[in-house]
Structure 1
């Protein structure tokens, strides 16, 4: 007979009214990792809302695969609804499956063969402003590269520099605010708090910007962006839906690509010998020409470096909501229950990886098969990130393009630590670029 939620342990440190919110806000990544000692499941309170954290592989398997039909998008993801109303990230059931399928067919790896040259060229153009021995803000540089690429993929166009800079500023701030809103009680959403006012202003600006540019894209005969293709499939009457899905793709794709490149460059800066070996592989494979689609599978060491970096900095949280009563690892969970999972914490669990916090690309050199669901940087199951193929295509191309021309040296005076956002990103990252 299945046990009930009352039998699931509650995390220590709960406070009246706010529950565990303060502990999560103080240092969310450390707090999430600390929960693994509770076993399969643990209860925590965000304000007065009780939720389950699924911790074990067995619990993840039930939520993401075995009982996937019993779960919809997490209620906490709806905190981003002002920015992405009615997007494919928020809908459930057959509508979600259908819209995800539409997006996914445009995000297949082979679909980008024709545009990778253009994207590598965007990176090279951006790097042309760098000078030897220049200190760069890696977060700012990678966000610029990622945003230009994702905007080109989705809207099929580039933008005047002034508009791009303002968009990038508001975009980065608004994504950060989403992660903060997840950690505060839902009843606080309507309060005139600075976080709520700033999020509303940012959401309005970004929605207006994307809507204007999306409509311009539709008027361009040669435009091949995903947005235009989705509108052609949905029909003009569903342009609002297509715009929401486009904003969701821009939001997820830019953040994932920017943080992914940043962490790879950080680790290569910390390990100069590995960086030298990766450069040698790139030089032997590519020489002086720009990296191309066909080069990606010919650089195994670079692939291992990227895979290991993704393991260390996987998605901090996945949220789900039970849409019907179900059972997770023998515990009966009622409909409406919020369930959180953390790929970040799971991939750092010593039960699944030796020396889990160390950067060891060699752990993938023998095509190691990680314990099932222990390594899911893009999620798993029916809500797995549809942009995984794009990210795993662009990451090696962009890193190869950078290392081909520049050696990167980490600034030892600037402490770098992971921070909780839509992805796990560095709090700051300064490096000096040395011309090869």
Structure 2
């Protein structure tokens, strides 16, 4: 981190600017830009500045993130102004700069974001809207936000984003959803350029500065996916290696994902545990380990389909590959429990307060769980599910294989002599 510059007025100022350019800026922002010795921003943003902003103009290189510390270090001691589109702290350069120099060395002068302009134009209260950015992110992540009746504002990556959004909506069973494209928001050329159901979308690419407004409508025959763990088994592509719906919901309940946490999913199968962990909150992360390359590819497809393309899939055998992974907040073991050293490696990787959950249907693995339960405590439970099926002209119960589950939390302050 670059040391913070002493004094009440940081040498680094981030100025939000909109499509209305210089004339839309308040006086403090104009003053900061006129006084700056170095002006850094995208080419389009720099072109919005008048001649009285006489500082040296530098366009961000690509890739941007690695260049930030170097550029700031090269111009240490000079007054630097960085231009950002709209609100710098809303999916903007402000986050990166704060991570590099620290908040105390940064002065941020925000401008209304394109999302604020879009909500105002549509009459949508922002607190009732979900915002999804597709800038430098795959369109597949939009799928996790699709629920009947929800309103979405999608930050477009470029002119092709509206067409990609429409295609995804059709593919995921949301073809009836209403789409509107808003361009050049905040400027004199602000407009709604297209409006259509996703199923009927045929508009050509327009302006690269766009926000896509979506009013979600699910097709009557589309599979319904809820917002909590326990998605329908039919939502997954699988070869039989799938933690079934009711057991999956119970497993996620004891794993207890919280925002920002990282899960290791060992023996991924179809990836259902990791996928539903990530769907609980956009900041939840997961790594799934699967030794079968065919299944690993299937996990990736399931993750894309269900809106969590950020799921990391590691093809390899545990525990050998675990040393390469970042430390987890929780671990789920769905396979390989009899592999020597596997549970021990998972336990060692967990921080104090971390959770470990393991499921099995075999007697051999059940013996491993029972032994660890005696050593480390926690909860050992058996989950049994039966489904009603036809029996001749009547109805009876068909019992699924019972699942033995061990769940334990690593103690924060182990007792003396405790081998945990």
TM-score of the pair, normalised by structure 1: 0.26
Which structure: larger Rg?
2
Higher strand share: 2
Higher helix share: 1
TM-score of the pair, normalised by structure 2: 0.26
